[in-house]
Structure 1
Amino acid sequence: MIRKGEDYIQSIRDGREVYIGGERVRDVPTHPMFKPLVDIRARIYDMGHDPKLRHIMAYQEDGAWNAVANKLPHVQSDWWDKRRATDTVLEELGGIVTRVGDETVGEMWSLFDGQDVLNEVDPQFSANIRTHIHRVIQTDPFHVSANTDPKGDRSRLPQEQDPDMLLHVVRETDAGLIVRGAKYETAAAYANQAFTKPTIANWGNEAYSDYAVGFICDLGTPGLKFICRTGFAGRAPAEDYPLSNRFDEIDTLVIFDDVLIPWENVLFYRHTRAAMFMRATLHRYSAFAFVQRSLKFADMMIGAALFNVRQTGLDKQQAVQEKLARLAVYREGINAHLTAAITLCERSPGGLMMPNQSLLYTGRVLATAELHEMIHIARELCGGQICITPDKAAFSAPDTAPWLEKYYSVNADWVAEDRRKLLAFARDLLNSDYAGHRLTFQLFAQSPPYAHLAAVYRNFDWDGPLDLVQKAAGLSNRVLGETTRTPGDSAISQWFNAAPAARAAAE
């Protein structure tokens, strides 16, 4: 059943070995660098118990209330429910958090689709993934993702350097696997469990490898060490950096120092085909939540920029309107891909309902590839004052407040304090250390851009264009070679060719 915020807070007081700024953290929930996100995650849990929000955040099954984010997607409406729940969270919080569970739990659904591959290794592994998916629904843990290793010298095989540069199995025991190495995991220091898996994309001719291991890791397990980057919270007053102080998600290097992974938590082991399947389909579901957050970030850029130009009357200028329109085109492009991905959703190999893969992945490319350019347009529209405006203390000090009141008040609607708040928000959204960190994180969080394009290549319906040109040019049938699906049988073609009653049923 859905946990309460206090249940979550107590669950991470498990004696875990967490370090930040070179010092051991004695109580994660109250540490100033972690407390903002711990409180946010607790608030998300409590939203599921709020009578005004429960119908959005939760669903009832067998007499129990469960989180919408954790629900296995079986029908199209499940995705509309997930989208509405995530929007509600981000709007309720007034900012964007990425690693809070709804984005990472979908990675396990991808492995659920690969149970036939897991069965080749050991039927127990496919049973384990079913068990863990059911457990997530029942117990509602804070679930995160563990992907990236330190890697070391990437031109050399792991066996040719310190083998711990990639997480690997060092031995088997009756109780489970003993693993060693390290993983970068955002939010791991204050989460409950992580789906831990390899980042190797090309295993060559290897059929088996000790590096091909995936498991659910209880983040309170003895032997884990959490070495965190210093956070942005508390570096400067919250009045001047409202986003940095509330929404910084702490990234962690998790050290596995001969950690025991019980057999019931192992999802695949040694079989490289299982690892390759997992990497190829990892974001089949989770990319949706990532792209949805890009949409919300676009809304925040538009809002900050539009308020800035309207308060000074610049929104009447054609050049300004054109820049605003470019932000709107970016925003609506993301929105169109998300909406179409649900509308043209597809049945997965495991029987789940997945967003239309081609549309989802092309939407992700759009959201990521143009993000830096959209940020710069928003900076232009906000103007130079986001980098030169004095801080809150100057607006409050007796000697300087009257002058700032004079020069920052635009009219009766835009007094100095509102203008200061807007400029502080825009600066933190677009220009601060936190803003730069978020931009860089987008290139890491869902694989690098080249991997985004590889996902598009694997999921686009190439047969449709080939069939069209083959017929239009009068080419012989043999030029088509083998096709991956019946010509014209793409999801879009199916949709428009379907009878009205069939379309209504799909909707």
Structure 2
Amino acid sequence: MGLKSFDRHKESLRDGREVYFDGERVADVTSHPVLGVGMSFAGIDYKLAEDPGHRDLAVCTDPRTGEEYSRFYRIPENTEDLLKRRELIAAGSRVNGGPPLIKEIGTDALFALHIVADHMDRHLGTSILPKVRGYFEACRAQDLGFAVAQTDVKGDRGKRPSEQHNPDVYVRVVDRREDGIVVRGAKAHTTASPFANELIVLPTRAMAESDADYAVSFAIPVASPGLKLIAEVSSHPGGNRFDYPVTTDLKMVDTVTVFDDVFVPWERVFLCGEWRYAGPLANTFVEFHRFTAASYKLPMCELFIGAAQLIAEYNGVANVTHVRDKIMELIAWTETTRGLLVAASMEHKVVPPGIAVPSITLTNIAKHHFARNYHLMVQNLQDIAGGLLVTAPFRRDWENEATRKYLDYYLGGVEGVSGVQRTRAMKLIRDIAASGFGGYQEILSIHAEGSLAAQRITILRDYDVKRCVEIVKSYLKD
């Protein structure tokens, strides 16, 4: 009970879960040559709690019992809670080189479930909130890790769930039994699911009455019969820190998550047919998750700044005006995103049952500002680096004495910077901004945590434009 060590979490994943990668079923995700790296990467939340340098940030104490628990499980009640959560998310991403997300996304979902369940109980006379609280407290006591399956595969995106020619492209209830429900369908882009203990399923959109079978939310163990995870990773190469200094230890793993008639007991079902609440649950989760998303992206922004400055110095162009301008843009991009998150924490709203929700407008502007400018910042970094970014020789060329002497002689930068130093800096930039992983990050910036269009819609919907119109009208009175 209480905090779980990284080793205990690793052991808990050896439970017969059905995971596939590159055409084969994976016997053990913790020891697989590729997924095993992803498992170690995803487990950073557990490692932070064990690290003396991060323990004060990563661990909370229950004042009633004295029990220690992960800060991710602290339900935010005020500005300090939100700022600490943001800081912890950024710390994990900074230590890891990328977002771990094994507790972040799951607790985002649980906060949203508390809010929507409370609203349902007060308006429908249901008893969903006690189930959510019971599940939350059990997970906290066991320090479980989560994945969240929200994005349905969708099929024909011009049609509603109930209008699809294939009825299973949205997850749906196919049977209601005395002891629970049976669900069928598939979700896409489920992050870190092979390394989670629990899978929380949420609706992906608002529903109509005809879509009631698709208005479903529940939680199940990842080893549940009928649950199948088909995994892909953001980068395959590994074990070569010279050519892949970031992604050797960074494997972002996402799955197509298949529900092949999976049984869910009623005590784990949070939404089943209440179609009016599908949209609010989806949106409430996203508002927490966009705050998480912008928080974990900040260390990558810092990496861009440091890499741009270092390679500019190695190339001898650090004082060139257009280079300084590009580095300034990287700094402004980073600090604007960070400042918006701090402001969102300070301008939070407390909603029943007593949960602090960061400012929806400011959170969405932070996420939109990061994502809208991501490709431009990649361009800035690539422009400063130069063509060796993609043509620099590989590690084995440097290990071969017949070629190394030429490479070191000809590929050096300013005086005192050897060819190998400059090449290694180029390799790092290539790894994050001109590789398969770099492309993955560019796609994430557009689509992860909701599209740019979704953020713009949310900003317009949440902001009080009428107040501004009234201000203008006040100047137009005689």
TM-score if structure 1 supplies the norm length? Answer: 0.89
Shift of 1:258: 0.8
Partner SS, residue 273 of structure 1:
helix
Shift of 1:393: 0.8
Cα shift readout 1:62-116 (whole Å, capped 9, x = no counterpart)? 22111112210012111222122223222322x1125332134212212211234
Distance in 1 (alpha carbons) for counterparts of 2:272 and 2:341:
34
Q: Are the equivalent residues in 1 in contact too, given 2:90–2:298 (CA < 8 A)?
A: no
Q: Which residue of 2 aligns with 1:191?
A: 196
Q: Which residue of 1 aligns with 2:60?
A: 59
Distance in 2 (alpha carbons) for counterparts of 1:4 and 1:412:
48
Q: Which residue of 2 aligns with 1:257?
A: 260
Residue 355 of structure 1 pairs with residue 358 of structure 2: yes
Query: Of 293, 297, 301, which residue of structure 2 is paired with 1:290?
Result: 293
Q: Which residue of 1 aligns with 2:170?
A: 166
Q: Which residue of 1 aligns with 2:424?
A: 421
Q: Which residue of 2 aligns with 1:14?
A: 15
Change over 3 Å in CA distance of 1:240–1:77 after alignment to 2: same
Q: Are the equivalent residues in 1 in contact too, given 2:316–2:414 (CA < 8 A)?
A: no
Cα shift readout 1:231-288 (whole Å, capped 9, x = no counterpart)? 5233683321122322221111111111111111111110111112112222222211
5+ residue gaps, structure 2: none
Q: Larger deviation: 168-177 or 348-357?
A: 348-357
Shift of 1:423: 0.9
Query: Of 278, 284, 298, which residue of structure 2 is paired with 1:281?
Result: 284
Partner SS, residue 314 of structure 1:
coil
Shift of 1:207: 7.0
Query: Of 117, 127, 131, which residue of structure 1 is paired with 2:130?
Result: 127
Query: Of 176, 186, 189, which residue of structure 1 is paired with 2:180?
Result: 176
Change over 3 Å in CA distance of 1:156–1:84 after alignment to 2: closer
Q: Are the equivalent residues in 2 in contact too, given 1:33–1:232 (CA < 8 A)?
A: no
Matches within 5 A, 1:40-189: 40-61=41-62, 62-93=65-96, 95-119=97-121, 120-121=123-124, 123-159=126-162, 160-184=164-188, 185-189=190-194
Cα shift readout 1:288-346 (whole Å, capped 9, x = no counterpart)? 12001222221111111111111222111111111111212211211220121122222
Distance in 2 (alpha carbons) for counterparts of 1:158 and 1:465:
38
Shift of 1:179: 0.5
Distance in 1 (alpha carbons) for counterparts of 2:436 and 2:287:
31
Q: Are the equivalent residues in 1 in contact too, given 2:118–2:353 (CA < 8 A)?
A: no
Partner SS, residue 273 of structure 2:
strand
Q: Which residue of 2 aligns with 1:2?
A: 3
Cα shift readout 1:105-155 (whole Å, capped 9, x = no counterpart)? 212212211234322456232221222222332222111210112222233
Q: Are the equivalent residues in 2 in contact too, given 1:338–1:363 (CA < 8 A)?
A: yes
Distance in 2 (alpha carbons) for counterparts of 1:122 and 1:396:
71
Q: Are the equivalent residues in 2 in contact too, given 1:362–1:456 (CA < 8 A)?
A: yes
Q: Are the equivalent residues in 2 in contact too, given 1:207–1:273 (CA < 8 A)?
A: no
Partner SS, residue 309 of structure 1:
helix
Distance in 2 (alpha carbons) for counterparts of 1:294 and 1:241:
20
Residue 441 of structure 1 pairs with residue 450 of structure 2: no
Aligned partner of 1:89: which letter? G
Q: Which residue of 2 aligns with 1:341?
A: 344
Aligned residues: 472
Distance in 2 (alpha carbons) for counterparts of 1:104 and 1:458:
26
Q: Which residue of 2 aligns with 1:34?
A: 35
Change over 3 Å in CA distance of 1:121–1:144 after alignment to 2: farther
Q: Larger deviation: 21-30 or 76-85?
A: 76-85
Shift of 1:216: 1.1
Shift of 1:40: 2.4
Change over 3 Å in CA distance of 1:106–1:222 after alignment to 2: same
Aligned-residue sequence identity (percent) comes to 25
5+ residue gaps, structure 1: 476-507
Shift of 1:365: 1.0
Q: Are the equivalent residues in 1 in contact too, given 2:341–2:363 (CA < 8 A)?
A: yes
Distance in 2 (alpha carbons) for counterparts of 1:55 and 1:199:
35
Q: Are the equivalent residues in 1 in contact too, given 2:19–2:194 (CA < 8 A)?
A: yes
Q: Are the equivalent residues in 1 in contact too, given 2:234–2:440 (CA < 8 A)?
A: no
Distance in 2 (alpha carbons) for counterparts of 1:153 and 1:283:
23
Residue 405 of structure 1 pairs with residue 383 of structure 2: no
Aligned partner of 1:175: which letter? D
Distance in 1 (alpha carbons) for counterparts of 2:324 and 2:211:
58
Q: Are the equivalent residues in 2 in contact too, given 1:387–1:427 (CA < 8 A)?
A: yes
Shift of 1:469: 1.1
Q: Which residue of 2 aligns with 1:307?
A: 310
Aligned partner of 2:61: which letter? Q
Aligned partner of 2:176: which letter? E
Distance in 2 (alpha carbons) for counterparts of 1:247 and 1:257:
30
Q: Larger deviation: 411-420 or 400-409?
A: 411-420
Distance in 2 (alpha carbons) for counterparts of 1:443 and 1:121:
37
Q: Are the equivalent residues in 2 in contact too, given 1:128–1:267 (CA < 8 A)?
A: yes
Query: Of 369, 372, 388, which residue of structure 2 is paired with 1:369?
Result: 372
Partner SS, residue 36 of structure 1:
helix
Aligned partner of 1:469: which letter? V
Distance in 2 (alpha carbons) for counterparts of 1:46 and 1:98:
11
Partner SS, residue 154 of structure 1:
coil
Distance in 1 (alpha carbons) for counterparts of 2:433 and 2:329:
17
Aligned partner of 1:27: which letter? D
Please tell me the root mean square deviation across aligned C-alpha atoms, in Å: 1.9
Q: Are the equivalent residues in 2 in contact too, given 1:103–1:287 (CA < 8 A)?
A: no
Partner SS, residue 112 of structure 1:
helix
Query: Of 254, 270, 275, which residue of structure 2 is paired with 1:272?
Result: 275
Q: Are the equivalent residues in 1 in contact too, given 2:233–2:252 (CA < 8 A)?
A: no
TM-score if structure 2 supplies the norm length? Answer: 0.94
Query: Of 247, 252, 267, which residue of structure 1 is paired with 2:250?
Result: 247
Partner SS, residue 183 of structure 1:
strand
